[in-house]
A = this chain, B = another copy of it.
Amino acid sequence: MRTSIATVSLSGSLTEKLTAAARAGFDGVEIFENDLLTSPLAPEEIRARCADLGLTVDLYQPMRDIEAVPAEEFARNLRRARHKFEVMDRLGAETVLVCSSVSPLAADDDALAAGQLSELADLAQDFGIRVAYEALAWGRHVSTYDHAWRIVEAAGHPALGTCLDSFHILSRSSGPKDLEGIGAIPGEKIFFLQLADAPLLGMDVLQWSRHHRCFPGQGGFDVAGLVKHVLRTGYDGPLSLEVFNDVFRQAEAGPTAVDARRSLLILQEETGIRALPAPAAPTGVAFAELLTPDAEPVTALLSGLGFARTARHRGKPVELWEQGAARVLVNTGPAALSPSRLRSRAGTPVDGTVLTAIGLESPDPAAAARRAEALLAPVLPRRRGAEDAPLDAVAAPDGTELFLCATNRPELPDWRADFADVPHAPAASGAVRIDHVALTQPWHHFDEAVLFHRGVLGLGAQESVDVADPYGLLRSRAVANADGSVRFPLTVGAAPGDDTAHARHIALAVGDVVAAARRFTGAGGRLLPIPANYYDDLAARFEFAEGELEIYRDLGILYDRDAHGVFRHCYTHTVGRVFFELVQRDGGYQGYGAANAPVRLAAQRAAR
């Protein structure tokens, strides 16, 4: 099925938008009128540009406040429409979107609306144009898709059909029953299908629509369910994204277009009209990789935490540090000196010690890479020597390299084969593994990151939470696999400039956080100091065993409870842009201590 995107969904000039849409692999575009008006290109030039880029002009939009008005007003509207049809003719657009009227002049008169739309369709037909009539959720008299269809049906004009828009339908829907009326519309009378998702916000629907739409799979609507209804009618026009979003308006058009097309690919898979390589959700974190121009501070930290240097890469300046099932690669290669691999979208290069890559234990690395590639994830050059094990890797939207790999599975190439063991004392504890890796995200691409991890890697997304940093609200949402052995809390700063303000971190699951914290401080490590006031609050909120709270207070251990269990955690100091967390999850605690995040963030700010 063809895919299309409305130019209003992307940032920049019309030329930039068209280029981005074509590069991301869309088949066509909807031309949003203002993008045409502000373009120095004549309609014929836009048509030629689209043709050069392999894009069709699937829709011209919108035409407003046309129908159910007094005759004199309608004459003016027809005059206006004729001008627009001339432009469409030059543009090569064969379908026009007509939104249900919001004009105070419009009458609540379906027969009048049908008659005037029919006249409009007569005129359109002269230009070889079809009129797609759509109910705006806030239309003055026509605000539901079935009402719009009744008018179209009554008009009975071959050049008049309806346009369905998932936002307008689902923002007013109270349940799946509301969609059943779609089945009553013959597919050939659905002239266009516009798709958008949105977070479930209780707000004025017009503002919600204009500022907060997002791509399918990024919000709370069942867009796939709606598309299934539409497909059953026999609709065979494009699946077209129309997203008004304040963030996308500012973001680079190229990545947004990729994000958009990925969302449509996933939607097509969900609705059974496109087969993609099946997801092979990761079963664990094989390693996290730190890139550093100076290994000493970070290896000192690893040693203090009980890691031992167990192996060295055969061909590159990369060391493997291990403790139990937790593995950290320390890379001092040339990339560390010009770390263009991880770049904030704000354009600031990230320097110092940074977390640049994650090894994901994959049940089928090659299949996982095929899925990632099908979903537009850049496949990374392997940059390996002749003897290195083959290693599939893709780039996440934030630039993090995700290696899809196998550890100690004889049937598959092992990434560890690239490493030669070095003599070492045994690590301090065998019970440690990576609990989660917290990945700060560039400001403009938070929803994209969540969809990527969900769609490409097959992780599940947890609830989104706001976290108060002293200098602004952060937004955080974790993605995780089913058994919780892979967890990535994704966090975005309060403002575009803030995306590199917060370091990433590796949380190590330990059986006894108090013992681990003591071992660390005993080895000379510094834990993040937590204000005493925090412990006074804990004392007010929870009852502790005699002496328990004093232990936490002395060490700087934070404490949280949920319906399932208890979470105790503490933080090391920060090296470059990386720090570590020690966590003890008991009784099936599911979260990440979000309630404690403001305390941690303020303490980190104070420690700078």
Contacts and interface: CB of A to CB of B under 8 A. Distances in A.
A249 to B, nearest CB: 5
User: A interface, by DSSP: helix, strand, loop or mixed?
Assistant: helix
Contacts of A250: 471-472, 494-495, 498
Nearest to A34: B598
Nearest to A12: B470
B11 A472 contact: yes
Tell me how many chains of this kind the complex includes.
2
Interface residues of A, number: 56
Contacts of A590: none
A11 B79 CA distance: 55
B83 A43 contact: no
A531 interface: yes
Given A497-B346, A540-B84, A204 B204 contact: no
B471 A249 contact: yes
B599 A38 contact: yes
B533 A42 contact: yes
A84 B470 CA distance: 22
A503 interface: no
8 contacts: A12-B470, A34-B598, A36-B533, A83-B536, A84-B540, A202-B204, A249-B468, A496-B496
Contacts of A494: 246, 249-250
Given A37-B599, A40-B531, 20 more contacts: A11-B472, A13-B606, A37-B534, A37-B598, A40-B603, A80-B541, A83-B536, A83-B539, A84-B540, A201-B203, A202-B203, A202-B207, A211-B473, A246-B472, A246-B494, A249-B468, A249-B473, A250-B471, A495-B495, A495-B496
B207 A204 contact: no
A43 B471 contact: no
A483 interface: no
Given A39-B533, A83-B540, A203-B203, A13 B602 contact: yes
Interface string A532-566: 11101101110000000000000000000000000
A38 B539 contact: no
A495 B37 CA distance: 24
Contacts of A532: 42
